[in-house]
Structure 1
């Protein structure tokens, strides 16, 4: 069915069909699994499950077990077609990249070398010409650090699918001398918070608002050049491509954001330039709920290997989500409000699993919770690639529900993603940071910031 729908949507005539005709065509492609669930491969090139209770379609990763999938059957089209998650066309060509975190498989040397070169070329600029505006970036960096350094960092962090990095990652260590305080996490993993597009574009907007147009354009060019380097890694590629699409028009038409700058709407102006086939990369900015749904879908896919062990990956994902919520709130009055916000973005089966795992200490799904910071045997990844994908998807899901509920991410990581770390820390690509210009390894031993970083 996936191949059939992809071929259908890939036909140039698809976007020219009236909406009611497209709905009729898609209604002929609904499937039913043996448990009576109805499924449709629709918008975003992802599966949707029909909710019997509310009569709506919900984004939901499909059953992964081969026997269940092969037993699915076509449903006759209903006499009255309910609203369907119709593919738009561009959403089917969106490249989702990789869900792997930056623990285990390191960032390739070509990327770290490229970022180091950009950092070295812009680190000596005058602070009077490139000050750091107030906000989170100013608090992160030392007082004498300039906005170009922050622009490189913010671009790296915004483009990262899941900013959990190996404690020895060279891409982070080259920023060590610029930071005002240690990054969250420990020597094994740095659990970094997400960087917003607003924080990134504020560096450019501040210079333009101060009448320093050349400096503002130089910052945009630096963001562009950083994204060009990053897109060689699939963990950065989708958002790097989206950032390029938003930033490059400014370099070709420097006056483009004039009205947005005057109205304080630069972020919105940049988002409006993101082409339809890359909108998925900006969900963190436009809809925290949609971003959570897609992150949870990624987590289910990362757990697909458990299906052959008799585990439903969707139930396992709901269980790990419950473990993270339980570990974060631990009976706090804020827990109920946070969970209720998540329910609205989940299909009814996942909601049922999540509620059961949180409410009942003896619920079977609690058997998938990490114990003593370790995954149960049924969820142990089969190899390093699967472990890195699970860690990344679990961490991205944690950040997504934090964003949706207004919760601060824990500095020590979430229960689920932290439990994956032991499967990766002894398989590092590079056990020690490589020395080089801009690394903290070439600083004197008594350097104050080096001590803070370590």
Structure 2
């Protein structure tokens, strides 16, 4: 006999809202009516917290201090009741418009532990070899000059840029073949060490510049070839959920140019072209583009991913706070951006002098803990012990993505050897690397 899952108030409320938003009549409702039907489905937990399943198909937690709603994973399995809440007090940004519920789920895993598939890697290797045979005179390097040698053609940079822009969290095992195939083109060693490469997410304008520079130089065929290389790369990346949401977005931005090469010809500069690319994306891909369109929201959703990836922990918010404690926050701007429960956990660490303490710990393998050993994080009592490699990779990816999102929002730099809590997770994964394909 099949086991029946116990009833959960959050799962039930989520299913109701999903059904309403999927109903064609949702689009015909006024914002007032949408707010009303959402407000009556707000859940209240015994501690007084109010939870709403809303925009972007995500839960939001009400902050009683200032009335804001923060994206936050709910405490599933906790007893909850429906509570009254004035619909007029719901801000527009928590009310679903419909397409935002169709976002690709993706994966928060980094590329440390579970490798990119051999098939995907081989397809990109073939594409890269063809790109590397182009002339640097015909394809001068107009972006990514800090990564590649000056005699590398921009077709190689187009492959690299697409991979890094599409990756949810570009932290790679030092032996990941997807990265090592670029070795002959690199200007200097990549950030990190031989065990982990902590790589930045490039801004979309860097990809745009590769194309527009050739167009402005009167080399329209070269510009079209660079756009095609990006599209080809994104098409290959679709098969890995760690790339898929942003790969879909990149395809929707670039493919119209391939069909109509003069589409962006009348635009004045790279920033105007970047905006035109972004405007081509359908609303269902809006969350994948938040790093470009709304850095504040992008950081909030990265924190959501981090807390959600830590659901196996005894106290997911306290565990998430230990990773947030690694972030550089000299101006004290971080706590106000957190929901009140996460903020309390973070402030506890702050009072103990345990915030802003990441020193980019070395990921040298000496002394790595044996499989299954609990990892003690930089907090008084918190321990994070992911139950398996997939869970550890998901936490690592979400934590690194949060660090990158914070850097994009505030300008804070991510240490070249990673943040301290992430380095601790690397120690759990490094002995399980998939190094069996050469």
The TM-score with structure 2 as length reference comes to 0.89
Deviation at 1:362, TM superposition (A): 8.7
Q: Deviations over 1:370-406 (max 9, x none)?
A: 9999435831111011011011111111111121110
Q: Which residue of 2 aligns with 1:193?
A: 200
RMSD of aligned residue pairs (Cα, Å): 2.1
The 8 Å contact of residues 162 and 393 in structure 1, kept in 2 or not, is answered as: yes
Q: Which residue of 1 aligns with 2:56?
A: 44
Alignment of 1:318-329 (within 5 A): 318-322=321-325, 324-325=326-327, 329=328
Q: Which residue of 2 aligns with 1:93?
A: 102
Q: Which residue of 2 aligns with 1:107?
A: 116
Q: Which residue of 2 aligns with 1:297?
A: 304
The 8 Å contact of residues 168 and 188 in structure 1, kept in 2 or not, is answered as: yes
Alignment of 1:123-134 (within 5 A): 123-133=132-142
Q: Give yes or no for the alignment of 1:57 onto 2:69.
A: yes
Query: 2: distance between equivalents of 1:46 and 1:79?
Result: 18
Q: Give yes or no for the alignment of 1:234 onto 2:241.
A: yes
Deviation at 1:157, TM superposition (A): 0.4
Query: 1: distance between equivalents of 2:113 and 2:210?
Result: 32
Q: Which residue of 2 aligns with 1:416?
A: 421
SS in structure 1 of the partner of residue 53 of structure 2: strand
Q: Which one of the candidate residues 345, 349, 360 is aligned to 1:357?
A: 349
Deviation at 1:171, TM superposition (A): 0.3
The 8 Å contact of residues 227 and 244 in structure 1, kept in 2 or not, is answered as: yes
Q: Give yes or no for the alignment of 1:243 onto 2:250.
A: yes
The 8 Å contact of residues 303 and 390 in structure 1, kept in 2 or not, is answered as: yes
Q: Deviations over 1:116-137 (max 9, x none)?
A: 111111211111110011x5x1
Alignment of 1:182-331 (within 5 A): 182-261=189-268, 264-306=271-313, 311-322=314-325, 324-325=326-327, 329=328
Query: 2: distance between equivalents of 1:274 and 1:349?
Result: 35
The 8 Å contact of residues 208 and 270 in structure 2, kept in 1 or not, is answered as: no
Q: Which residue of 1 aligns with 2:41?
A: 29
Structure 2 gaps, min length 5: 1-12, 369-374
Q: Which residue of 2 aligns with 1:170?
A: 177
Deviation at 1:167, TM superposition (A): 0.6
Bigger relative contact order (CA 8 A; separation at least 6): 1
Residue 9 to residue 187, structure 1, CA distance change in 2 (3 Å): same
Q: Give yes or no for the alignment of 1:78 onto 2:83.
A: no
Residue 291 to residue 274, structure 1, CA distance change in 2 (3 Å): same
Query: 1: distance between equivalents of 2:105 and 2:82?
Result: 28
Q: Which one of the candidate residues 134, 138, 145 is aligned to 1:138?
A: 145
Count of aligned residue pairs for this structure pair: 407
Query: 2: distance between equivalents of 1:160 and 1:255?
Result: 29
Q: Which one of the candidate residues 339, 342, 346 is aligned to 1:347?
A: 339
Query: 1: distance between equivalents of 2:192 and 2:87?
Result: 56
Query: 2: distance between equivalents of 1:251 and 1:344?
Result: 44
Deviation at 1:81, TM superposition (A): 4.3
Deviation at 1:257, TM superposition (A): 0.6
Alignment of 1:360-399 (within 5 A): 360-361=352-353, 374-376=375-377, 378-399=383-404
Q: Which residue of 2 aligns with 1:452?
A: none
Deviation at 1:412, TM superposition (A): 0.4
Q: Which residue of 1 aligns with 2:155?
A: 148
Query: 2: distance between equivalents of 1:174 and 1:159?
Result: 18
Q: Which residue of 2 aligns with 1:446?
A: none
SS in structure 2 of the partner of residue 270 of structure 1: helix
Deviation at 1:194, TM superposition (A): 1.3
Query: 2: distance between equivalents of 1:236 and 1:305?
Result: 24
The 8 Å contact of residues 166 and 244 in structure 2, kept in 1 or not, is answered as: yes
Q: Which residue of 1 aligns with 2:4?
A: none
